[in-house]
Amino acid sequence: MNKLDTNFYLQDTLEVAKNLLGKYLVREYDGIKIIGIINEVEAYLGNSDKSCHAYNGKRTNRTEMMYNKGGCAYVYFIYGVYYCLNVVTEEEDKAAAVLIRSVAIVNNLDIISNARYNKNYKNLNKNEIKNISNGPGKVCRCLNIDKSLNGKSLLENELYICSSINGFDEILVKDFNKTKRIGLGKNAEESKDFLWRFIY
């Protein structure tokens, strides 16, 4: 296993976002280890980005986590229904994070499909396979992520990210797409048009 270290998370947030593509997101709980390849992320920067929860140095109980030193998780609850997982980046007191929008689960598919659809993976229809973990709320449902992981260090062993892990080689990401971010409210204004969504 080749776990990403603190230096990785202290890089410029846009660099971290791009470099997270093709990495393995690993979640361990109850003796189960679930691995997913990160294939879609979005960057959020506190100082220049109106759609960031911590825009312009805004500090609240929720946003405080984004001011942490890079390398921990920021999990928030949204729309009364879903959790979203972010990776905190950059030095302490600089609010910035990368939202994990989508992963491709590569092991324990029956555990995931039972949790999501209450049936084994081989019984899923095409639509269910496509939709199993292709959104931020779904990633958290698949990986059993909730607010108890908010602030958790990604250098420990409940939730972490690797460039390679037993049986899964490092992935060289040669090319990726760049688009506008998804789902931003109207107060995001011009930051809506930033091309800070990266898809592998």
Partner DNA sequence: GAGACGATAAACT
Partner DNA sequence: GTTTATCGTCTCT
Helical ranges in the chain per DSSP H = 6-9, 13-20, 109-117, 126-130, 136-142
Terminal CA-to-CA distance of the chain, rounded, Å? 22
Q: Which of the stretches 4-12, 19-27, 49-57, 170-178 binds DNA when contact is defined by CB under 7 A?
A: 49-57
Asked if 99 is part of the footprint of DNA (rule: CB under 7 A), the reply reads yes
Count the Cβ atoms, other than its own, within 10 Å of residue 125: 10
Distance CA 2, CA 23 (A): 10
Q: Are 98 and 16 in contact (CB under 8 A)?
A: yes
Residue closer to DNA (CB basis): 131 or 164? 131
Asked if 97 is part of the footprint of DNA (rule: CB under 7 A), the reply reads yes
Show the binding pattern over residues 178-197: x = contacts DNA (CB under 7 A), - = does not: ---xxxxxxxx---------
**Which of 12, 173, 1 minimizes the C-alpha distance to 89?**
12
Asked if 118 is part of the footprint of DNA (rule: CB under 7 A), the reply reads no
- Residue from 107, 137, 155, 173 touching DNA (CB under 7 A): that is 137
The DSSP code for 155 is T
- Residue from 52, 72, 149, 165 touching DNA (CB under 7 A): that is 52
Positions touching DNA (CB under 7 A) are: 42, 44, 51-54, 58, 60-63, 66, 74, 76-82, 84, 86, 97, 99, 116, 131, 135-139, 147, 181-188
